[in-house]
Chains A and B, each alone.
Chain A
Amino acid sequence: MRQGALRLGVFAGPIWGTLFFVALWPLMHIFPPYSPNLGAAEVAAHIRSHQTGFLVGGILLMTASAIVWPFIAVILMFLKKIERGIPLWTTVTALVFTYGQVTVFLCGLAFTMAAFRPDASNEMIRAWSDLGMFLLVIPAIPGTTQYLATGAIILQDDRPKPILPRWYGYLNIWVGILSAPGAVVGLFKMGPFAWNGIAAFWIPAVVFGVWITATQLILLSAIKRNALLDDQP
């Protein structure tokens, strides 16, 4: 069994996370996100003064969406192993993962557009930046489907010694339910459900941090146990 290759695959997860965070925080300075109430002139001034940061950050986000696949592939192999026979929900998870990473790619592209022409009008710059912010937060919508499907697969595992731990299945359901409020950011410019609010940004962000950390740990431990070669009936 190529445990080494699988382990390497898992590390695409933290690399993705690092690129993502470096782009948002030291480069674009949009972590925590600015208020949706900010005027066009202020948003445009922020982007003009960090123009290079936004352009490089955009490249990092697009790169992140391209190099995450080994990590996702390792998750999917375990899910497929659990589901046996006809891997319906594994396929659903795989498709939603794909769709979710397209939003990450487009998020990088939208911020690139926002910073590309600093002489453009304030409103134009803010519109592209708004699109970037939406693409950052709104993947919560497909995310909910993906987490619930993953949770359902893991909890269906009827082997005496489950391939992936059952608590991780419940964790996925928890993450799925709590990501859902991210869906409504288009309705609010302030308060807990705006894109910088506690319920639509902070809770999903922290919960996602818990998810990606737990995912790496359980994958590494399952690889160590050689769970892909498990031959329980």
Chain B
Amino acid sequence: MTAVSKRLTLFWLVLVAVSVLSFESSLFGTRAAGAIVIVIGLTKAWIVGREFMEIRAAPLILRALFQAWVLVLGTALLAVTYLLAA
């Protein structure tokens, strides 16, 4: 029988919970909902990368590249969503 990792299971639960949360929040249709959806999406991607792909224990270069991807994409998506929408 496979040993179950409490850590991964906990993060899995968090991921499922925030998926449901972001699903509900977008129903409000407020301007803040966009930011909530983007931030929750990227947080989920960040958790998948760090915990499941094991980037958190990887050498600095991988961690830095991944972090940069999340931050640059987040900034770009938020900027586009709020600055371009007239």
Q: Is chain B in direct contact with chain A in the complex (CB below 8 A)? A: no
**Chain A interface (Cβ within 8 Å of chain B)?**
none
**Chain B interface (Cβ within 8 Å of chain A)?**
none
